[in-house]
Amino acid sequence: KDKDEGDPIVQKISGDSLSINGRTFTFDSVADVEATQLDIFEHVGVPLVENCLAGFNSSVFAYGQTGSGKTYTMWGPANSLAEENVAKEQQGLTPRVFERLFARIKEEQTKHSDQQLNYQCN
């Protein structure tokens, strides 16, 4: 929020646009402060995994101001990989993508057991 006025500086206008100090910007998609880890995974992670299985190289580029939540969005809470009892809903994008990717590879191998499928993950 603006210190002087108390109004939000950045406002989500629609699913693909936001306003910064009254100036509108349009993107492929905009997530607001209410978005959950699952929302981000479903919007970014699921298509990424399906594209990988279709043979496309995929990556996620997290960009933003220091302290804006990039690491939390990508990994979840601090030490979430070391602690086994982190709530599933707190998992970040990366562990969800890996879990989904390996589950989908297993599904494909089972579904096409008559074919010799070869997957390579780097």
CA distances from 19 to 10, 13, 42, 48 (A): 6, 7, 24, 28
- What is the CA angle 105-109-113, rounded to 5? 175
CA distances from 62 to 13, 47, 68, 77, 109 (A): 22, 16, 10, 16, 31
Could you tell me which residues are annotated as the binding site for ATP?
Answer: 64-71
Could you tell me which residues are annotated as the binding site?
Answer: 64-71
